[in-house]
Structure 1
Amino acid sequence: MKRMLVLAMALAIAPLLAPMFGPIRAEAATLEFPSDAPIASVTIPDAWEPKETISGIEATSPDAAIYFSIDVASDETMDKVIDDAIKFLTDNGVTIDETTKSDSGDVEINGMTFGSIEFDGEDADGPVEVSLGFASPSEGKMLVVTYWGTKETQGAHSKDLVAILKSLKPAK
């Protein structure tokens, strides 16, 4: 099953399971982006070393198994933001197998409809999963979520990934 579909299902049942496991204790920062005129916010564990980029936020898991970014696009810049995300992946040695493309369907996250497309791929470490996710926090704005995860070790980060995605919301 594809990673984003699993994350979407986990988001759906997380409120039911939360009382059994208690709060997550990891230190995390809530980042609004872009900082000069925020349109969204997300909470990312400090250990992932989140940082603001020219067009959004990026972070990498402590073991470097997972990379993700959230970029802000407008109707006019959407194609360029997607092209830049794919170029980033290929520039970093990721080969995407377009024949494996699948659509995860939509899920609601904090009032935003979130959908993604997934691909299998390969990088220097072996098989990877790649996805591009999309959510609209406000009229004319789109969030483009780029995910690149090593298949062998990405499962160890499911809890963090669900919490990160669940924290994504439009800025107030």
Structure 2
Amino acid sequence: MVLLSYQLDDAHLVVELSDAVDLDNETAIERELLRLMPCCGPSTLIVDIATPLLTARALGLLLRVRADAGQRGVPMTVVARSETAREVLNAAALNRILRVAHTLAGAELRSRGCLPGAEAPEEDSRTGGLRERLRRGIRTADGTGPGARAVGPYAATSLPRLLPPRLLRER
């Protein structure tokens, strides 16, 4: 199996993974990734996942390649452009281990040791940016924000229902 690879710059080698990893092609893809990997640092290997389908075999493959890269002293980051791929990596709790970024520019920053927040934050359409406003300390139109208290049976969840401060004073 031939994987598309190119030099982003002198210190970053990008390898695109465009096919879903399954039982039939897993060993060929792993062999090709290990062949393309630089023999030693400081070059960084960036695996660009172009497919939205990340199987359990793909996750195992990425972890094995990361371990091999670590033994060679080569830093490795993963670019997950697809929302589905990012959700799978997040659900498997591999974001930090694989140093996942959304873009090639973000992967370059991650390879330099920058935190994931160095990329432009994406707006979550389900919450309308509520998490970001709460983190910054900005009150929303309905009075939620810093100083608002979580109430109700779902108060222990990550996004609790919030009682506006004017109702807090009335209690």
TM-score normalized with structure 2 length: 0.28
Largest Rg, 1 or 2: 2
Greater relative contact order structure (CA < 8 Å, 6+ sep): 1
Q: Which has the larger strand fraction?
A: 1
